[in-house]
Amino acid sequence: MISPRRTAPASFLICLYFAIGCSNGSSTSSTTTTMGGSGTSTMQANAGCIGAVQTGSAAFIDYTKETPGACRHLTPADLPQPNTASSVTNGSTLVARVNNQLPQVPSGFTVQQYATGLNNPRLLATAPNGDIFVAEPAANNVVVLRGVDATGKAQSTSTFASGLNALFGIAFYPVGASPQYVYVANVDSVVRFPYQSGDTQARGAAQVVVATLPHNGGHSTRTLAFTSDNRLLVSVGSAGNVTNTDTDTSETNRADVLAYTPDGTFLKIYASGLRNAVGLAVNAAGAVWVSVNERDGLGDNLPPDFVTHIQEGGFYGWPWYYIGANPDPSLPPSHPELAAMTIVPDTLLQPHFAPLQIAFYTGSQFPAIYNGDIFVAAHGSWNRSIRSGYELLRVLLQNGTATGVYEDFMTGFVNADGTVWGRPVGVTVGSDGALYVSDDASNSVWRIAYTGS
């Protein structure tokens, strides 16, 4: 399972250094210099952030400090020491949405319920014709939402396929305007349905692509993406929180991103040491990115969850290390050789945020500062004394490279008393340029549109 690689290349560290070092942290934007082939270029950094970018201990927050436009930047140097004695169980207390509650979004944006009455809506996928496909694992269905009516609601809702098994991932293949299949990841397999653009019901029975995926234990989400060279990637989370993989074989081909041919032939472990890479996406340049739920039990502020591009063959630490050469205190020091080989992720998030689906903004509706940035659905904590997450995040990129800064973009799903009425899971960009966000607490899909300057 372990597939170690050396640490991130120097060019990446240079970019990260300049993104940190050139931010003055005192205004909504600053400049940063990046290395170019024929010299240097100056770009805006932190555009869209309101006030100073919070760093150091100030960047560790809870729901009471989450507000649209607030930006934070955590680094490995900010991490506290493990404190297992302080670890808590504090699951969310779910309550109904009342008085037409709405989440909060930045100035110039609006948010409204696009679809309601769904059954545990999770991952979202936008078809080339603009239909929004929704995974409903509790009902074992794939649902299709079509269009936007005059009130901002979906014009129609259809069941595309049923009889699945705790499904999550959905992907269209071939990538582009005319896919021939819809791939669906069950908890224990991958299947595909014949598809033509505009189908709202599967035109044929499910075809088995990958007959068996590891599925016992925890972390049931399986996310799909196709690389630019047409490999099928499948992310499979670990079975447990932390496992000694020298003595326990239950984690074989888990905490990994696996690579297959489109017909289901196993190729390789694409990247390893990723405890639970729920978010999995490929950008326009062909880079593979993930969001990762890191381990629990080490205290309120350790270790950070993260969003990062992944290197083919790269090793990201689990279970032996986290966020670079930080050893897990519950395991014996059996693999000192892996410390220097553990790749440090690009953008560190608040620990226990539980980042799930990610989406690159590729639309034309939002202002240009959002182009290419990553939106992240943060499902929310259960392992912090004061809860955090339960929001939509924006991870800031410059020329495809993470700056390390992330922004609270849509917040307000936690009431003042700490009860929770919304939990973001999925996010996708619609053909209209709006963002669509699934919420498995209110059983809704939210639509975020830009309406002003």
Please provide residue 318's backbone torsions phi and psi, each rounded to the nearest 5 degrees.
-65, 140
**pLDDT above 70: residue 322:** yes
Residue 371, C-beta contacts closer than 8 angstroms, at least 6 positions apart: 361, 362
Bridge partners, residue 391, by sequence: 378
* Statement: residue 176 has pLDDT above 70: yes
Residues 6+ apart with CB under 8 A from 167: 135, 136, 137, 140, 142, 184, 185, 186, 187
The model's confidence at residue 20, banded by pLDDT at 50, 70 and 90, is very low
User: Where in the chain are the domains?
Assistant: 10-450
Q: What is the pLDDT of residues 386-425, one digit of tens each?
A: 999 999 999 999 999 999 999 999 999 999 999 999 999 9
Confidence of residue 3 (pLDDT cuts 50, 70, 90): very low
For residues 98-113, average pLDDT: 97
Find out whether 49 and 28 touch, Cβ atoms under 8 Å: yes
Which pTM was predicted? 0.91
> How far apart are the C-alpha atoms of 148 and 201, rounded to whole Å?
19
Mean predicted confidence (pLDDT) in 200-226: 97
The pLDDT of 234-257, averaged and rounded, is 97
pLDDT at 353 over 70: yes
Per-residue pLDDT band at 43 (split at 50, 70, 90) = very low
**pLDDT attached to residue 403:** 97
DSSP string, 19-40: HHHT--SSSS-EEEEEEETTEE
**pLDDT value at 28 more than 70:** no
**Res. 39 pLDDT band, cuts 50 70 90:** very low
Quick check: 179 and 194 in contact, CB under 8 A? no
Among 40-54, 249-263, 269-283, 403-417, which stretch is predicted with the lowest mean pLDDT?
A: 40-54
> From the centroid of its chain, how far is CA 270?
18
Confidence of residue 45 (pLDDT cuts 50, 70, 90): confident
SS3 63: helix
Q: Given a cut of 80, is residue 54 above it in pLDDT?
A: yes
For the stretch 111-159, pLDDT in tens is: 999 999 999 999 999 999 999 999 999 999 999 999 999 999 999 999 9
Kindly report the number of other CB atoms within 10 A of residue 107's CB atom. 9
**pLDDT bracket for residue 92 (50, 70, 90):** very high
Average model confidence (pLDDT) across the chain: 91
Is 25 a residue whose pLDDT tops 50?
A: no
pLDDT exceeds cutoff 90 at 208: yes
Locate tokens 């405890």: which residue?
Answer: 275
Higher pLDDT, 113 or 2: 113
Looking from the CA of 93 toward its CB, the CA atoms found within 13 Å total 7
Average pLDDT over residues 54-60: 98
Q: Prior bond to 345 cis, omega within 30?
A: no
SS3 content of the chain, % helix, strand, coil (to 5): 10, 35, 55
CATH number of the domain at 10-450, please?
2.120.10.30
